[in-house]
Amino acid sequence: MTASQDDFIHHILNTVHTKQNEQGSSFDLFMERTYEFIDAIDWTQTWLQALIGFHTVCFITTLLLRNHSTGLSIYFFLLLGMAALAKPLNDLGRTHWDNFASANYFDESGLFAVSIYALPLVFNSFVTLIFILKMTAGLLVNMKRAQIKQQRKKKE
């Protein structure tokens, strides 16, 4: 590498470091915007408290169903189906927000509906999927053990 190439690379690195120090890290910017988003919402509204209660009940249901494979599987698809309703619910909220909310949180992109409604449902679906995979792995281990026991009995 020549001296001019080395100088050029150092110049680019210094520029990147300077810009990063001016703007802060991406994570810091993300956290700042997240706090601004949370602070902008009036959490004392009844419908938002009911939505938080709904998500709490959904999470508790996920935990209660963790050992019931059939119920958990049905519940998994129910959660995903409810999450898929984020767009139509956002459209309804955008049309009728003045009937239940103090401000119109429902933009065309649906960021609020996805953040407050669909994201917790997808998180619950992810936890549900982990429980399903854990049960499936347990079944595979049990089946393999039974197969090994049966093979040992045939050899004796």
Tell me the per-residue pLDDT of 126-144, one tens digit each, with 9 for 90 and over.
999 999 999 999 999 999 9
Average pLDDT over residues 29-42: 88
Element (H, E) at 16: helix 3-23
Tell me the per-residue pLDDT of 41-90, one tens digit each, with 9 for 90 and over.
899 999 999 999 999 999 999 999 999 999 999 999 999 999 999 999 99
Element (H, E) at 138: helix 119-155
Distance in angstroms (rounded) separating the CA atoms of residues 26 and 59: 30
SS3 call for 33 = helix
SS3 call for 94 = helix
Burial of 149 (0-12, 13-18, 19+ CB in 10 A): exposed
Residue 26: the pLDDT is: 79
SS3 call for 45 = coil
Residue 124: the pLDDT is: 97
Whether 94 has a pLDDT exceeding 70, the answer reads: yes
Give pTM, 2 decimals.
Answer: 0.76
Residue 15: the pLDDT is: 75
What angle separates helix 86-96 from helix 69-84, to the nearest 10 degrees?
A: 40
Q: Please state, for a pLDDT cut of 70, what percent of the chain lies above it.
A: 88
Domains of the chain, by residue range, sit at: 1-40, 43-155
